[in-house]
Structure 1
Amino acid sequence: MKNSDLLRYKGYSARPEYSAEDRIFYGKILGISDLVDFQSENAKDLEGEFHKAVDDYLEFCAEIGKQPQKEYSGLFNVRIPPELHREVSVFAQAEGVTLNKAVEQAIRAMVHS
């Protein structure tokens, strides 16, 4: 599924799917550990159900005084083999960019391909 196939609303994303067995369209909010899902019997109403699920999640968090999960910080640790670490470091130096920038460019190319 392409990135453009995701539903987006108020900083949240979901990937819609279809269950032929249950004859429903469904999805869940991606990128958070809280389970927030939604469903609809037809594709036309699915995006509205997603919006309602996000709104309900935000309202519920406010009611119980919980900070809703949202944006990523942009900081994460990645473990790679030492040889690959060396190769990407040499590549970054040869390109005149930082290691972080080289990794960012590689991830961006992967995500947007």
Structure 2
Amino acid sequence: MNTMTYKGYTARIDFDGRDSIFVGRVLGVRPIISFHGETVAELRTQFIAAVDDYLEDCAAQGIPPEKPASGNLMLRVPPEVHGAVLVAAQASGKSLNQWAAEVLKNAANR
């Protein structure tokens, strides 16, 4: 996946062959923050402007901007899954949190 990062926000980048432009969308937040450019340099400039505009708009409205991720993740899983992952974590000598973070990181980087 092609991405760009700015001020903690990450955008996925795709190429639109029909219009011959790069298109980006900020990931991990509910508001749709998108941008485009004909060159990588223009795309990066538009990404920065889109994030800055979002942050300025939030400030003007007096609302906190959404952050891409807080670092807290709550999951609901069946008890048998919870038990199995707890055993797997303990068998590897890690806490459930350490084990889950490692598994999730590996899955995300595939």
Shorter-chain TM range is: 0.7 to 0.9
Structure 1 equivalent of residue 33 of structure 2 = 36
- Taking the aligned partners of 2:75 and 2:35, their CA distance within structure 1 comes to 32
Pick one of 52, 58, 61 that aligns with 2:58: 61
Structure 2 equivalent of residue 50 of structure 1 = 47
- Determine whether 1:88 maps to 2:47: no
Structure 1 equivalent of residue 107 of structure 2 = 110
Q: Post-superposition shift, 1:85? A: 2.4
- Taking the aligned partners of 1:15 and 1:28, their CA distance within structure 2 comes to 5
- Taking the aligned partners of 2:89 and 2:24, their CA distance within structure 1 comes to 39
Amino acid at match of 1:34: P
Q: TM-score, normalised by structure 2?
A: 0.86
Deviation string for 1:14-53 (max 9, x for gaps)?
A: 0111111222211111110011111112333111110011
Deviation string for 1:36-92 (max 9, x for gaps)?
A: 111112333111110011111111111111111114222222233443322211111
Please tell me the root mean square deviation across aligned C-alpha atoms, in Å. 1.7
- Taking the aligned partners of 1:66 and 1:36, their CA distance within structure 2 comes to 16
SS in 2 for 1:7: strand
Pick one of 60, 76, 79 that aligns with 2:76: 79
Higher mean C-alpha deviation, range 51-60 or range 19-28: 19-28
The answer for unaligned runs of 5 or more in structure 2 is none
